[in-house]
Amino acid sequence: MAEKYREFVALLKSAHRILAFTGAGISTGSGIPDFRGPDGVWKRRQPVYYHDFMTSEAARVEHWDFKLEGWPAFKAARPNKAHLAIVQLERAGKIEGVVTQNIDGLQTKAGTSPERLVELHGTNLSVECQNCGELSDPELHFAYFQKTRKPPVCHCGGYLKPATISFGQNLRAGHLERAYLAARNADLVLALGSTLSVYPAADIPLVAAREGIPYIIINRGPTEHDHLRECTLRLEGDVAGLLPAAVNAICGTSP
Ligand SMILES: [Zn+2]
């Protein structure tokens, strides 16, 4: 492990245009509810599909009720050392882009520049009108829903929905384009806390790696890219344990 860690630090040091691709494992310890675990919400609820949200008031009530349940935890969640280490890399001029599968908004809270960040699956920190696309703060909408049990509607008449990608809803084309652009420009790709099993998201680090640049995977537990020849270095463990120390070693102390 010590040898691998030294190699990791050396690769980070020589990189200037890093693509950081992050999954749920980076937010462990930040108070994010576990949707898939033994007490996960999917054990009690059926997800609402996008088509149903757009065509059924009952489905909209169910979706808002589900999102209301998770809101206090998402609102209170704070970025951890791993999110901050990515910001530190950006401030050192070493980040090309950060592409996250997470909807917790923690990379935004940590301070990653919006122009460098792609939240592929959307964010719980905004509400989006499904008609005009306007974004707004969730707080007022949750308060309204809690009081009235009516799903909020935009001033344009469109349905408002927390700005996360629902089951059956397409990823935003602009987001994918920006993510692929960052992948093609990168000189190092880091996959952090992702099992790399959800597509098309998991394709993005692979597109970068296939350009022939180093591909480093850090995750606790196996990933679907572990045995690909594109994987240069595989570190087993918690991202918040491994990444900050390496970043400090090359950039100095944390921000
Ligand atoms: Zn609207």
> What is the model's pLDDT at position 173?
84
> pLDDT digits over 216-254, tens only?
999 999 999 999 999 999 999 999 999 999 999 998 765
Distance 78 CA to ligand 1 centre (A): 30
> What is the model's pLDDT at position 227?
96
> pLDDT digits over 69-106, tens only?
999 989 999 999 999 999 999 999 999 999 999 999 99
Distance 245 CA to ligand 1 centre (A): 45
Distance 83 CA to ligand 1 centre (A): 32
> What is the model's pLDDT at position 40?
59
Q: What angle do CA 155, 157, 159 make, to 5 degrees?
A: 105
Q: What angle do CA 40, 42, 48 make, to 5 degrees?
A: 145
- The catalytic position among 16, 63, 83, 121 is 121
Token pair, residue 176, equals 């994918």
Distance 134 CA to ligand 1 centre (A): 6
CB 70 within 8 A of CB 41: yes
Give the separation between CA 205 and CA 219, rounded to whole angstroms: 14
Please, which residues have CB less than 5 A from ligand 1, an ion? Answer: 129, 131-132, 134, 154, 156, 158
Distance 153 CA to ligand 1 centre (A): 8
Distance 160 CA to ligand 1 centre (A): 7
pLDDT at 39 over 70: no
> pLDDT digits over 113-124, tens only?
999 999 999 999
Distance 136 CA to ligand 1 centre (A): 10
Whole-Å CA distances, 23 to 68, 105, 201: 23, 12, 10
225 is catalytic: no
Distance 168 CA to ligand 1 centre (A): 21
Give the separation between CA 213 and CA 18, rounded to whole angstroms: 10
